[in-house]
Amino acid sequence: MMIFETASPEETSAAAEKFAAELKAGDTVLYTGEMGAGKTHFTKGIARYLGITDTVVSPTFAIVNEYHGGRLPLFHFDLFRIDSFDDLYATGFFDYLDRGGIIAVEWSENIPALADELESVWLADIEKTGENTRRITVRKAGEPE
């Protein structure tokens, strides 16, 4: 388990960059955290670690943003408007599992059993502890809290 205390969006991205050294092709990172907690900033740090130079933005309306050009592709999902496995299948989510990249999933709590359907899963909880401060807990699924 990794715990990061951050005081700015830049520090949240830097924490993700440190964590990303643990990731390998086929891993999925499931985020939980309220609106504005820093999930997209965390994804920016993962992208930077992978060597992706594209600007990372929230995929709220697109559902998924794909980033290529780094050591591995990054597939950034937003499940804010997805609340069933049928909806998730319709996005093509499960097709991305075989594409050899990292999948980062915002609002994973909308599909509570999602981690059970995946093989290599990291859970990242981003908690707002103040206006700009965050407590980020990252652990491998199945690892004790």
Full pLDDT tens readout for the chain, 145 residues: 999 999 999 999 999 999 999 999 999 999 999 999 999 999 999 999 999 999 999 988 889 999 999 999 999 999 999 989 999 999 999 999 999 999 999 999 999 899 999 999 999 999 999 999 999 999 999 887 7
Reduced to 3 states (helix: H, G, I; strand: E, B; else coil), residue 104 is strand
Q: Contact at 8 Å (CB) between 124 and 22?
A: no
Q: Where are the domains of the chain?
A: 2-140
Reduced to 3 states (helix: H, G, I; strand: E, B; else coil), residue 38 is coil
What DSSP element (H or E) covers 122?
Answer: strand 121-128
List the CATH code of the domain at 2-140: 3.40.50.300
Can you tell me the distance from the alpha carbon of 71 to that of 3, in angstroms, rounded to the nearest whole number?
A: 25
Biggest distance spanned by C-alpha atoms of the chain? 38
